[in-house]
Homo-oligomer: A and B are copies of this chain.
């Protein structure tokens, strides 16, 4: 065990190196993006889909070929898929706004709407609630999903709880996947509000990191079997398959909900970029090619995840925190000792390593225990990542010393 002055000395040495490493967001690295570069000269003169000139207006919710290509990601029939623009976040935001202004929550505006927010969770989900004045009820996320006893109690008792955010597979940031039993309980549970909706952000549905991937039950099927067909909206995108910002976003829901979505979309937009949809169709051909592509990406990403967990194990052992080694997704969630997260992130920043802000994984940026830090290993090359994680580990240890005083 190093003492405080040794740690301080080690930290000051690193700081003097003037590092500049950004691990703040789940950004793919150039090494991963390169695998999709062939898209950048597509479609060329091959701009006709079977039925449409993709250079022109219509169809509103995606060309049939892109629905066929991408529907296996959400496990629905192609007809059921609704293709959006380049951002599934925008589709989620739109879904909430649509229900608030024109849909089932029209009569429940303002303080009367609350969402269950699983923690630690995805900061952008919480930001949408905060922006739209939707209340947030925190529930802890465990190793196989959220605390379902508590969720069942909350939704059975409180009519004002209208929704929940879920990242059900390779959860952001903890990397866990919901068990079949959790999915079934979501589908079956009794809700006091008839208009309770699950926003099922399946962002990492095909983003496996190794040969023992997790699997997830199809919640839309389960909701239909349970007699609650309209309960769930599922989302995904190819932002971390091809290009972030240059990808294709999609959603799926019951036929009744989908009619409502499409009618509204027809008023709100001219539809997504069909040339980009076609670009994905020409680049991949079929879903098997997407699966192969994702294996190439994980070949680059896995060594980065391994680097993070190896250095955490080597440097921190079990005294300074816990973390989970995920089978997929984009993050490693580090739970340090209570009261150390903000100080750790601050020390890292001063030493030139930018992490996601401590607290970001909680509503209102407020981690009550000040312990969770989201580590995003995807962007830096492995050598930089090693250096960054060494900075991280020294900072964790020093933060513990500082906080202990």
Instruction: Output the residue of A25, A86, A270, A275 with the most chain B CB within 10 A.
Output: A270
Separation in Å of the A40 CB from the closest CB of chain B?
5
Q: Which residues of B contact A55 (CB under 8 A)?
A: 30, 33, 36, 243-246
Bound form: Cα–Cα A273–B54 in Å = 17
A273: which of B30, B89, B101, B246 is its contact (CB, 8 Å)?
A: B246
Q: Which residues of B contact A243 (CB under 8 A)?
A: 55-56, 275
Separation in Å of the A88 CB from the closest CB of chain B?
9
A56: which of B33, B274, B275 is its contact (CB, 8 Å)?
A: B33
> Per-position contact with B for A1-30: 1 when CB-CB < 8 Å, else 0?
000000000000000000000000101101
> Which of A41-49, A194-202, A292-300 is the contact stretch?
A41-49
Q: Are B89 and A268 in contact (CB under 8 A)?
A: yes
Give the residue name and chain of the B residue nearest to A48 (CB): B30
A276: which of B41, B44, B276 is its contact (CB, 8 Å)?
A: B276
Whether a CB of chain B sits under 8 angstroms from the CB of A364 is: no
Instruction: Output the residue of A36, A42, A109, A275 with the most chain B CB within 10 A.
Output: A275
> Which of A124-132, A216-224, A310-318 is the contact stretch?
A124-132
A40: which of B47, B100, B272 is its contact (CB, 8 Å)?
A: B47
> Per-position contact with B for A215-253: 1 when CB-CB < 8 Å, else 0?
000000000000000000000000100011110000000
Whether a CB of chain B sits under 8 angstroms from the CB of A210 is: no
Whether a CB of chain B sits under 8 angstroms from the CB of A366 is: no
Q: Contacts A57-B244, A124-B267: A97 and B86 contacting too (C-beta < 8 A)?
A: no
Interface residues of A in 92-113 (CB under 8 A from B): 93, 97, 100-102, 109
Interface residues of A in 260-290 (CB under 8 A from B): 264, 267-276
Q: Which residues of B contact A25 (CB under 8 A)?
A: 57
Separation in Å of the A186 CB from the closest CB of chain B?
26
Q: Are B43 and A40 in contact (CB under 8 A)?
A: yes
Whether a CB of chain B sits under 8 angstroms from the CB of A77 is: no
Q: Which residues of B contact A365 (CB under 8 A)?
A: none
Instruction: Output the residue of A56, A57, A244 with the most chain B CB within 10 A.
Output: A56
Whether a CB of chain B sits under 8 angstroms from the CB of A257 is: no
Separation in Å of the A269 CB from the closest CB of chain B?
4
Bound form: Cα–Cα A123–B308 in Å = 55
Whether a CB of chain B sits under 8 angstroms from the CB of A307 is: no
Q: Contacts A28-B56, A57-B25, A97-B101: A246 and B275 contacting too (C-beta < 8 A)?
A: yes
Contact sample, A vs B, 20 pairs, CB 8 Å cutoff: A27-B57, A33-B53, A33-B55, A37-B45, A37-B47, A40-B42, A41-B44, A54-B245, A55-B244, A56-B243, A57-B245, A89-B268, A90-B270, A102-B132, A102-B133, A130-B267, A131-B267, A131-B268, A245-B272, A246-B275
Q: Which residues of A contact B (CB under 8 A)?
A: 25, 27-28, 30, 33, 36-37, 40-45, 47, 53-57, 85-87, 89-90, 93, 97, 100-102, 109, 124, 127-128, 130-133, 239, 243-246, 264, 267-276
